[in-house]
Chain A
Amino acid sequence: MKLNANIPSGPIGEKWGSHKSSIRLVSPANKRNIDVVVIGTGLAGSSAAASLAEMGYNVKAFCFQDSPRRAHSIAAQGGINAAKNYQNDGDSVHRLFYDTIKGGDYRSREANVYRLAEVSANIIDQCVAQGVPFARDYGGLLDNRSFGGVQVSRTFYAKGQTGQQLLLGAYSALNRQISKGNVKMYNRHEMMDVVVEDGKARGIIARNLTTGEIERHGAHAVLLCTGGYGNVFFLSTNAMGSNGSAAWKAHRRGAMFANPCFTQIHPTCIPQSGEYQSKLTLMSESLRNDGRIWVPKDKKDAEAIREGKLKPTDLPEEKRDYYLERRYPAFGNLVPRDVASRAAKERCDEGFGVNATGQAVFLDFSSAIERYGKTEATQLGIANPSNEKIIELGEKVVSSKYGNLFEMYEKIKDINPYKSPMMIYPAVHYTMGGLWVDYNLMTNVPGLYALGEANFSDHGANRLGASALMQGLADGYFVAPYTVGDYLADEIRTGAIDTNSEAFEKAEAEVVDRIDKLINNNGTRSVDSFHRALGKIMWDKCGMARNAEGLKEAINDIKALREAFWNDVKVPGRKDMYNPELDKAGRVADFLELGELMCLDALTREESCGGHFREEHQTEEGEALRDDENFAFVSCWKYNDEPSKAELVKEELTFENVELKTRSYK
């Protein structure tokens, strides 16, 4: 099988423009007769559903939450990148493109990334026009800040709630179309399967989570905007309901899964505090603008801090190891996420961890507080300010920048981060892998599209901070609405999709059969107990560092766990009413397959790149060792009866506009 990425010809700067102007259109009269189903209402889903409806298609949108506004994009904190160059610091489309390719460790597709950088500026214009209240300076113009892996300030933000504001903007656009009757919204509905007929996506089987009813929805195109699968690790920064089921169902129906092992472990999260923990909370990367990361230089001091015999604030400057500044002087605390996470793990594994479990490092704001305090004092004309005054003024500045994040930390840990450094540790945050898509964001199943985090295309092996929001909205507002038309131009004579066909009958029967199996299983173990066990296997053997032996073990362990799940899972309640345990069981069953494919992918990729670190492949200094000669490709997996029998198809990556270099932030 050969995959065609359908990348338009011509120079990279002209590809999207010429493609867009030569793409086929569907006339307004025909659009009225074409149905599009959108699954998920995060940034990608809401924006796509709104845009397609605005163009004239009949859109049905689905979300499993009680309202489209709850999608997990809402929790994104730090910001959104755009090549506006408002700060006049040398930013450009090319620089954003280059940073993203390099940040992704040269494992993403040039043409897609360039288009993303190209449309980024429009996103900001669009959002401001929709009334998104971005942060502004005293001149009334938009403010920016910096994120990891770049040397310009191109990140637009709304305090630590940028995702919320952007999602509510997209939700408002969606609401406008719902009110006009162009979108029919299905809240508390979960997609159970994609229906494929004559090789094309023709609709979905959905379940009404409130009543348990199974529904058939025909469509000429199906867009999966269903986010990532980080919850395969059980503990992650994802929401409790975030799941990989829609993408996995599509995979089982023939869609290729690309680079499943590329997982982003975010360096700054609040460490796990006990076995009961249900999720991990992110502390925005923006904190690394002003926070300095350190552990004690001396193991004895680390031990004393762990045992509570020594306060971190009592440890003098010369006894601290600011290991990111030491190892990566050029980027310091703002190295990309994969690099920062691995460095934290390295220090903790060596015995320098600073909390009771030994799995935490400090993120310290005292230098920033002092620096800002002095500047403020000067501006206020205070001569010889006292130390207390400096700290008071400095804390005010820090609070205006990160106030809500500091509050969030204090609520969870009951420690005041202004007075004592935060303790942080890496946690699963994002998945770069996802459904394979071509330049038009279509999977290899005609009519089936994947947008946002659900696809694989833009972030390679490591995503840069503030780029997920950018990609979600770019895909939903500006890319898919055009490219879908190119496919639908052939569907104008199809007419309404018949949901009584054999394909729909069969798909529905399979869905019902599986639900019956789960609810009638009468086992002894709860769904969560299996999910926790899977998470532990994944974190230990397919987490921040991986090796062949561990991955082989993991594949066997997951198989055994999957078998145990189907033999012994206990799902209480009924299938014909609201039953969150049943919903969860279906998602965990899919994670138990997806996890295995992730391990297989990690085992096959005999190199280290981005978030994928194979212990066998590292430099003497412990940096990731990439192998461009043998692995400059996208791993695309085709489903074959069971996850471990998946067939590998390679999409070779060619780089014509950037030179493949060792990624260095030193």
Chain B
Amino acid sequence: MNLTLKIWRQNGPDDKGRMEIYPVQDINPDMSFLEMMDVLNEQIIAEGKDPIAFDHDCREGICGMCSMFINGEAHGPGRRITTCQLHMRSFNDGDTIVVEPWRAAAFPVIKDLATDRSAFDRIQQAGGYVSVNTSGNTIDANAIPVPKTDADRAFDAATCIGCGACVATCKNSSAMLFVSAKVSQYALLPQGKVEAKERVRKMVNQMDLEGFGNCTNTGACEVECPVGISLENIARMNREYLSASLSSAE
């Protein structure tokens, strides 16, 4: 396959940035999108120029590090995949492909396609945990049975990979899907219920401080989420938040 790539280049957070055009030849349709980027970078290095910086690590869809906005979609065309799982057979010979970084005020660009998503870490630090020490001397793991449906729903919420596609996709750059997944996981499990109110208040508060936008129920986040985190989680978080706000704060 021969393709034309239009890729966002930006030297650092303060650089204005611009699109640059790169033709690539003889791309194998079985390559992943990132392998195609490797080929392009080899070509750029051979020309003595600066290769394109992009985040990636596991290349099997679980670490959440890869993050490209391809042809106007987070992680490109195709549903329930990350960019590393996108294969070139999804494109046609002769296509022009536009590649941009995640764009959100809370995710500043580090260089080219790599952005700083540490705001997500800070939201988790605000309350995304159960306050239990790591002594191992807790109660036996089977002491509290958890209904299978609750356990399964908690698991589904917990599979969020923290990539930020939801934020990049949302016209408001809202992080509600990400935050609600963690809030839901714990709210559904007996171990997490004890601090549920405090948790949701703290996490939502931090989300606002980081400069993420509000949710207006468009639902684009759910469509683009590579692991299928459901909008139900946002509804659950709203309920949790409302009930936490109505009950007396300590």
Contacts and interface: CB of A to CB of B under 8 A. Distances in A.
A129 B65 contact: no
Interface in A480-506: 481
Given A119-B136, A241-B57, A577 B51 contact: no
A597 to B, nearest CB: 26
Contacts of A385: none
B130 A172 contact: yes
A52 B127 CA distance: 20
A411 B117 CA distance: 27
Given A137-B148, A159-B155, A276-B31, A131 B126 contact: no
A411 B85 contact: yes
Nearest to B62: A75
Contacts of A65: 57, 63, 65
Interface in B201-239: none
A308 to B, nearest CB: 15
A572 interface: yes
B30 A72 contact: no
B247 interface: no
B131 interface: yes
A570 interface: yes
A436 interface: no
B34 interface: yes
B148 A131 contact: no
Interface in B27-52: 28, 30-32, 34-35, 38-39, 42, 44-46, 48-51
B24 to A, nearest CB: 12
A47 B132 CA distance: 13
A570 B114 contact: no
Interface residues of B, number: 79
Contacts of A577: 11-12, 111
A468 to B, nearest CB: 15
Contacts, number: 214
Given A131-B191, A277-B35, A140 B136 contact: no
Interface residues of A, number: 83
Given A210-B110, A278-B35, A526-B46, A128 B191 contact: yes
Contact of B39 (A140, A276, A570, A573): A276
B101 interface: no
B183 to A, nearest CB: 12
Given A54-B133, A67-B120, 13 more contacts: A54-B134, A66-B114, A67-B117, A72-B57, A124-B141, A125-B140, A131-B185, A133-B154, A133-B155, A133-B158, A176-B125, A278-B59, A572-B48
Q: Which are the 10 A-B pairs with shortest beta-carbon distances?
A: A140-B145, A122-B136, A172-B129, A129-B138, A133-B155, A128-B141, A133-B154, A578-B111, A239-B57, A239-B58
18 contacts: A72-B58, A126-B136, A126-B138, A131-B129, A131-B154, A131-B192, A133-B151, A134-B141, A158-B155, A273-B30, A274-B28, A276-B31, A278-B35, A408-B85, A411-B85, A526-B46, A528-B38, A572-B51
